[in-house]
C-alpha cells in the first residue's frame, strides 16, 4: 500500500506541473474566443487530470487485486489516458518554454530601448508568443495521433518477419528448417480481447513452421492470467513441437505474496498451465531434435538479466546434454545474457531473446530504427551478428504497461535455416 501511495503522489506531482505550464499556453491561444467556448475548453482541459486522479486513487486501494487477478483493464485505461494526453502536453510545454525565453528576451530588450521601441517590441513578442503556441499545438498533435493509433490498432497489428540465416555447420538434413519465434505475450493484458489472441494463433499456424519457440513472459504477474486462454494456446502446433522458457514476469516476483508457499504454488500452477497448453518448458534444460541421421540442440535457460532482473539461468546446465552437437540454438529471455555469457564464450550458433518490447514506442521506418530502450539495452531489436554467432531480439507479441504499440508492432518471427555451402 505504501508503494502505491508513493506512486500516486509522484504521478500527481508530474501531472500538476505539466498541466499548470501547458495551461498557460492554452490561455494564450483561447484569449480571443467568446467566454462560453473559452470556459468549455478550460473545463475539458482540467477534466483529464481529474479523471486520472480518480482512477489512480481507485487503483491505489486495489493494487493487490489488480496484480493478482489479471484485471488490468482499469490500469490500462489509466496508462492509456496518461500516454495519450501527457506526451502531447510535454511537447506543448517545450514550446511554452520557448515562449518564456522569447518573453524574457523581449523584456530585456525593452529595458534598454526608447518608449516607442518598447511598444513595438512588446507587440512583436506577443505575436511570436502566440505563433509558438500555435506551432506547439500542431506539433503535439503528432504524438497524440500516434499514441491513439497505437492503442486502437497498433497493439493488435501482428507482423510476420521472415529471416533467412546461413550456417556453415548446420546439418544438411535441417537445410530449409523453419523455426518460428514468439515472445512476451503478457497474456493477462488480453483479458477482454480473447479474439485477438485467436487471431495471433491463426497467423502463427499459417506459417507452417517446423518448430515453435516461445522466449518468455507468458503472463504479467500470476498464473491465473493464462488459464482461460489454454484452449486457444493448445491450437498452436508444429511438427517438432512448441518449446518455451520463463521470463522475468513469469516468476510472480512483482506481487506481494502472503507467504512463500503461496508464491511457490503460483509457480507450479504456471508450469502446469504451460504443459496443458502444449508448451514444453525448458528450465535450464535442452532437447535434441533429430531429422534423418542429423541432430541439432535446443537449449532454454531460466531468466538471466542484469540487475534488478533475476539471474536464475544456468547456461552450463542447460547445455549439458547437447554440448557435443555441431549446431545449437539457445532461448534466453533477456538479450543482455548474450554479451555476458554466450558471445565468444560458447559455440552457440543462434540465441533467441525478447524482453525489450522495443519499449512499445519508437520510430521504425526504412533507414531509421530508434527507441528509448536502446539507452538500456544496446541489443534491443532485430538481428545481431558477431563473428559466426547470431542474436535475435524479438520485440514481443503482447504488451504491458502502455496498452498500445507505436513504431514496433507485435512480432512473429520466422527463421529459415540454410546450409552455407560456400
- Give 49-64 as a 3 state SS string: HHHHHHHHHHHHHHHH
pLDDT at 422 over 80: no
pLDDT digits 0-9 by tens, 291-316: 999 999 999 999 999 888 889 999 99
Query: Residues 162, 168, 170, CA angle at the centre, nearest 5°?
Result: 70
The chain-wide mean pLDDT, for the chain, equals 89
Last residue of a domain, one of 109, 128, 152: 152
Q: Are residues 165 and 135 in the same domain?
A: no
As beta bridge partners, residue 419 has 167
Q: Are residues 165 and 80 in the same domain?
A: no
Last residue of a domain, one of 111, 132, 152: 152
Q: Are residues 231 and 363 in the same domain?
A: yes
Q: Are residues 92 and 233 in the same domain?
A: no
SS3 category, 272: helix
Residue 74: per-residue pLDDT: 79
What mean pLDDT comes out for the span 126-147? Answer: 80
SS3 category, 348: coil
d(CA 398, CA 229): 14
Residue 100: per-residue pLDDT: 72
pLDDT digits 0-9 by tens, 20-77: 888 888 887 888 889 999 999 999 999 998 888 888 877 777 666 666 665 677 788 8
DSSP string, 122-183: HHHHHHHHHHHHHHHHHHHHHHHHHHHHHHHTGGG--EEEEEEEEETTS-GGGTT-EEEEE-
What mean pLDDT comes out for the span 145-156? Answer: 96
Residue 318: per-residue pLDDT: 98
pLDDT digits 0-9 by tens, 165-224: 999 999 999 999 999 999 999 999 999 899 999 999 999 999 999 999 999 999 999 999
Q: Are residues 172 and 217 in the same domain?
A: yes
pLDDT at 123 over 70: no
What mean pLDDT comes out for the span 118-140? Answer: 65
Instruction: Give the predicted TM-score (pTM) of the model.
Output: 0.89
- Structural domain including 183 reads 159-419
Last residue of a domain, one of 152, 179, 206: 152
Residue 54: per-residue pLDDT: 85
Q: From the CA atom positions of the chain, what is the Rg in Å?
A: 26
pLDDT at 122 over 60: no
Residue 60: per-residue pLDDT: 72
365 membership: H or E segment, kind and range: strand 363-365
Residue 368: per-residue pLDDT: 92
Report the half-sphere exposure of 290 (CA within 13 A, side-chain side): 2
- Phi-psi category of residue 192: left, alpha or beta, with phi > 0 → left and psi -120 to 50 → alpha: left
Q: Are residues 198 and 289 in the same domain?
A: yes
pLDDT band at residue 121 using 50, 70 and 90 as cut-offs: very low
Q: Are residues 107 and 188 in the same domain?
A: no
d(CA 355, CA 333): 6
What mean pLDDT comes out for the span 360-378? Answer: 94
Q: Are residues 185 and 63 in the same domain?
A: no
Specify whether the CB–CB gap between 157 and 360 falls below 8 A.
Answer: no
Residue 2: per-residue pLDDT: 58
DSSP string, 190-253: GTT-HHHHHHHHHHHHHT--SEEEE-S--SSS-THHHHTTHHHHTT---TT-EEE---GGGG-T
Domain containing 285 — which CATH number?
3.60.21
Q: How many domains does the chain have?
A: 2
pLDDT at 129 over 80: no
Between 20 and 348, the more confident residue is 348
Q: Are residues 105 and 138 in the same domain?
A: yes
Q: Are residues 95 and 230 in the same domain?
A: no
Contacts 24+ apart (CB under 8 A), 289-294: 289/211, 289/240, 291/171, 291/173, 291/174, 291/177, 292/173, 293/173, 294/171, 294/172, 294/173, 294/174
Residue 344: per-residue pLDDT: 94
Q: Are residues 196 and 345 in the same domain?
A: yes
Q: Are residues 233 and 285 in the same domain?
A: yes
333 membership: H or E segment, kind and range: none
d(CA 78, CA 73): 9
Amino acid at each position: 500500500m505504501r508503494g502505491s501511495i508513493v506512486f500516486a503522489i509522484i504521478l500527481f506531482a508530474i501531472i500538476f506541473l505539466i498541466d499548470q505550464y501547458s495551461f498557460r499556453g492554452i490561455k494564450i491561444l483561447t484569449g480571443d474566443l467568446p467566454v462560453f467556448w473559452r470556459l468549455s475548453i478550460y473545463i475539458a482541459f482540467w477534466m483529464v487530470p481529474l479523471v486520472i486522479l480518480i482512477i489512480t486513487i481507485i487503483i491505489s486501494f486495489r493494487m493487490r487485486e489488480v496484480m493478482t487477478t489479471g484485471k488490468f483493464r482499469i490500469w490500462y485505461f489509466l496508462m492509456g489516458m496518461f500516454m495519450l494526453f501527457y506526451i502531447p502536453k510535454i511537447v506543448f510545454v517545450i514550446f511554452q518554454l520557448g515562449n518564456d525565453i522569447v518573453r524574457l528576451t523581449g523584456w530585456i530588450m525593452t529595458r534598454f530601448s526608447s518608449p516607442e521601441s518598447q511598444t513595438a517590441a512588446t507587440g512583436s513578442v506577443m505575436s511570436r508568443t502566440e505563433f509558438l503556441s500555435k506551432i506547439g499545438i500542431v506539433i503535439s498533435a503528432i504524438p497524440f495521433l500516434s499514441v491513439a493509433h497505437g492503442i486502437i490498432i497498433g497493439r493488435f497489428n501482428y507482423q510476420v518477419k521472415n529471416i533467412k540465416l546461413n550456417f556453415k555447420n548446420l546439418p544438411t538434413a535441417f537445410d530449409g528448417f523453419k523455426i518460428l519465434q514468439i515472445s512476451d505475450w503478457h497474456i493477462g493484458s488480453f483479458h477482454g480481447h480473447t479474439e485477438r489472441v485467436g487471431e495471433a494463433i491463426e497467423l502463427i499456424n499459417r506459417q507452417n513452421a517446423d518448430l515453435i519457440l516461445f522466449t518468455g513472459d507468458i503472463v504479467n504477474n500470476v498464473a491465473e492470467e493464462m488459464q482461460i486462454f489454454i484452449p486457444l494456446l493448445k491450437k498452436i502446433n508444429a511438427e517438432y513441437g512448441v518449446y518455451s522458457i520463463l521470463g522475468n514476469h513469469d516468476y510472480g516476483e512483482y506481487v506481494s505474496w502472503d507467504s512463500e508457499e503461496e508464491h511457490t504454488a503460483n509457480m507450479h500452477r504456471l508450469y502446469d498451465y504451460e504443459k496443458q497448453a502444449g508448451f514444453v518448458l525448458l528450465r535450464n534444460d535442452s532437447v535434441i531434435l533429430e531429422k534423418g541421421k542429423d541432430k541439432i540442440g535446443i537449449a532454454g535457460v531460466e531468466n538471466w538479466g542484469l540487475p534488478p532482473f533475476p539471474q536464475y539461468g544456468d547456461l552450463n546446465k542447460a547445455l549439458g546434454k547437447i554440448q557435443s552437437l555441431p549446431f545449437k540454438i539457445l532461448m534466453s529471455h533477456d538479450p543482455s545474457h548474450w554479451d555476458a555469457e554466450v558471445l565468444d564464450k560458447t559455440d552457440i550458433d543462434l540465441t533467441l531473446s525478447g524482453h525489450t518490447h522495443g519499449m512499445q514506442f519508437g520510430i521504425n521506418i526504412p533507414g531509421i530504427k530508434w527507441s528509448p530502450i536502446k539507452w538500456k539495452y544496446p541489443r534491443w531489436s532485430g538481428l545481431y551478428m558477431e563473428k559466426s554467432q547470431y542474436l535475435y531480439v524479438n520485440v514481443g507479441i503482447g504488451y504491458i504497461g502502455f496498452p498500445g504499440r507505436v513504431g514496433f508492432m507485435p512480432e512473429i518471427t520466422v527463421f529459415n535455416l540454410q546450409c552455407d555451402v560456400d
